[in-house]
Amino acid sequence: MTEPSIFTRILDGEIPAEILAETDRLFALRDIAPQAPVHLLVIPKTAEYRTVAELAAGDPALLAEMIAFAAELAAANTHDGDFRLVFNSGPNAGQTVFHVHAHVLAGGLTEKSVGA
Ligand code: 5GP
């Protein structure tokens, strides 16, 4: 057994955090170290998938749910609904939590950088 991820521990109430919104299969948090005026995380409740590629192969409908949820959150948290979606995949791409999650970045992002 591997240790539960930080996101599973938040979902289970072991670590305090405000859950901004949730569906039956997803939840959203504000990133603790925001890299943009709006920086949210969309996270599947299951920790079964480590990366977006694993999720796409294993449950593409859940990936589509993540994207729809990200759009709803961006609409609720920005004036224009525009957002950038980032999935860091692998340690050399900046991934630190190996429980798949999308970064939803918004608010005055005009540069073309792909980094979170
Ligand atoms: P990654 O680096 O894996 O793409 O993204 C993990 C993200 O989780 C980071 O942006 C980091 O700031 C965020 N994070 C790590 N621990 C916590 C926490 O306890 N609460 C919240 N809200 N975000 C966290």
CATH number of the domain that residue 14 is part of: 3.30.428.10
CA–centroid distance, residue 27 to ligand 1 (Å): 14
> Other CB atoms closer than 10 Å to residue 38's CB: what's the count?
21
CA–centroid distance, residue 89 to ligand 1 (Å): 14
Q: Name which residue sits closest to atom 24 of ligand 1, judged by CA.
A: 32
Is residue 103 flagged as an active site residue? Answer: no
Q: Say if 51 falls within a structural domain.
A: yes
Ligand 1 pocket residue status of 20, Cβ below 6 Å: no
Strand pairing class (21-22; 26-30): antiparallel
Residues 39, 79, 99, 101: which is the catalytic one?
101
Ligand 1 pocket residue status of 6, Cβ below 6 Å: yes
Residue showing tokens 């949730």: 22
The total of structural domains in the chain comes to 1
Residues 26-41 pLDDT 10s: 999 999 999 999 999 9
Q: Say if 112 falls within a structural domain.
A: no
Number of the ligand 1 atom closest to the C-alpha atom of 15: 19
CA nearest neighbour of 10 among 2, 22, 20, 19? 19
Q: pTM for the whole thing?
A: 0.95
Q: Say if 41 falls within a structural domain.
A: yes
Q: Say if 114 falls within a structural domain.
A: no
**Contact, 100 vs 49, CB < 8 A?**
yes
Residues 82-97 pLDDT 10s: 999 999 999 999 999 9
Assign residue 63 a region: left if phi > 0, alpha if psi is -120 to 50, beta otherwise? Answer: alpha
Average predicted confidence (pLDDT) for the chain = 94
